[in-house]
Amino acid sequence: MTEPTIYEMSVAGRVGMKYPQPDVPLSPLPDDMLRRDLPLPELSELEVVRHFTNLSSKNYSIDGGFYPLGSCTMKYNPKVNEETARIPGFTGTHPLQPIETVQGNLILMYELQNWLAEISGFSAVTLQPAAGAHGEYVGVMIIRAYHRDRGDLKRTKILIPDSAHGTNPATSAMSGYNVVPVPSDARGNVDLEALRTLCTDEIAGLMLTNPNTVGLFDENVLEVINIVHQAGGLVYGDGANFNAVLGIVRPGDLGFDVMHFNLHKTFSTPHGGGGPGSGPVGVVEHLVEFLPGPLVDVIKEGDADDYPLFGFVEPPKSIGRVKSFYGQFGMHVRAYTYISMHGAAGLRAVSEHAVLNANYLLSRVRGKYKLPYDRICMHEFVVEGSWDDAPDIRALDVSKRLMDYNFHPPTNYFPLIVHEALMIEPTETESKQTLDQFADALLKIAEEAHTQPDLLKSAPHNTPIGRLDEVKAAKELVLCCWIPEDIE
């Protein structure tokens, strides 16, 4: 059933709150400052509570069901993270307090910096960036600062494999670089021949997503990094797919120079509405001096009587501050909690199970869905949502039909190098039973695509609202549910 908008529920004169008569003289607002063109809906408190409760129950969330949105790592966010983030000692602090009074916060940030560095094999980490794409931007600014510091101003290009995340070319373009795409080879790796041709002394670096967006670990990653380094470029690692390799391989050891982390993917802090993102950035030794400041460090060593004093330090050639205060501290607490709860062996198990779950799902749908690259996958995989013998069906129809089976659809139409792509990432937090239910739905839909294609074309059927007109939505944006008549 469709929930009416709050304006449609409004009844003139109904009030949710009665105020007592004022016991001080009234002081009316100046008439010319009163706005009369914004009528607010008039409802009782109960109606408001029901309205928003009903709306919230229509949300799809990881707490309500399986959410295999490829590339997004929609893993379960343990509730203990919320407990720790709400410890009054954290929530009651202010970023402008004297450092002596917030030593607990600083120690947490210091240890998180060090843990992320250890997990990734980098020398130092900044926690400032506010989200993954912001982390990428910071990483590319560090690459630029490095070349400029050496007086090397001819490097105007950044190479981006066509299997990279879409934010990578956007980041490079925003940083003022020219984006040069690098094709993939038939196995889904970076095409080494093409890479060699493109690697000149005009490249500032390469942004590599590994595992890439088709869920494959680049088999030639060492050679790719070597080719770029030989040309004097740096290699940026997109850490969005870090959930596949925790405790198994460290990007810093592979030769990556800089990488961002998505705390809201790998380290179980909430995505989107649940809280802001957080995109720390790690760098190798020769880039540490360019990190955004301030970083948390020990500013006075401890001794037998005193604890060490933690405070802020500024890297000598810092690209500057990239965020007010110190980043999304609440997310730091959640990620810190997650890492503490798992420990080193636990983090490795996270990735092993993420990869195992993806391969299990893949093995269940193999043969019924076309695989653009049929290899052992990492934490996610891509299938084609179309069949030669079901010519009317597209990936979007498969996704819409999945909603009828009460699953969140996978990522659609990305990566672009795969025809009618459906990108599926189950994460490690799902049970075999859930994976089987999802695989059963996918297999049923593959069958329906051939026997009852109309069922897919007109899906979803079991949702409050059916198939939306995406063309109309894109072309005729109406962002107000109601437009006052007297507004010009």
Partner 1 sequence: MNIPQNLKYEKTDEWAAVDAGKVTIGITDYAQSQLSDIVFLEYLVATGDDIKKGDVIATIESVKAAAEVSSPVSGKVTAVNDDLIQTPEKINTDPYGEAWLVKVEDVDVGDLSSLMDAASYENYCQERGH
Could you list the residues that contact partner 1 (CB under 8 A)? 394, 396, 412-413, 416, 419, 470-471, 474-475
Q: How far is the CB of 459 from partner 1 (least distance, A)?
A: 16
Output the smallest distance, CB 342 to partner 1, in A.
Answer: 37
> Based on CB atoms, which residue is closest to partner 1, 474 or 487?
474
Distances (CA, A) of 392 to 159, 401, 441: 37, 14, 20
Whose Cβ is closer to partner 1: residue 465's or residue 471's?
A: 471
Q: Which is nearer to partner 1, 26 or 474 (CB)?
A: 474
The 10 Å Cβ neighbour count of residue 16 is: 13
Nearer CB in complex with partner 1: 147/394 = 394
Q: Residues near 168 by Cβ (< 8 Å), separated by ≥ 6?
A: 136, 160, 207, 209, 236, 238
Q: How far is the CB of 164 from partner 1 (least distance, A)?
A: 15
Minimum gap (Å) between residue 158 Cβ and partner 1: 17
Contacts of 99 (CB under 8 A, 6+ apart): 106, 309, 310, 311, 312
The contacts of residue 217 (CB under 8 Å, 6+ apart) are: 210, 211, 244, 245, 378
CB of 63 to partner 1, least distance (A): 29
Closer by beta carbon to partner 1, 469 or else 486: 469
Shortest Cβ 179–partner 1 spacing (Å): 11
Output 35 or 475, the one with its CB closest to partner 1.
Answer: 475
**Residue 160 or residue 287: which is nearer to partner 1 going by CB?**
160
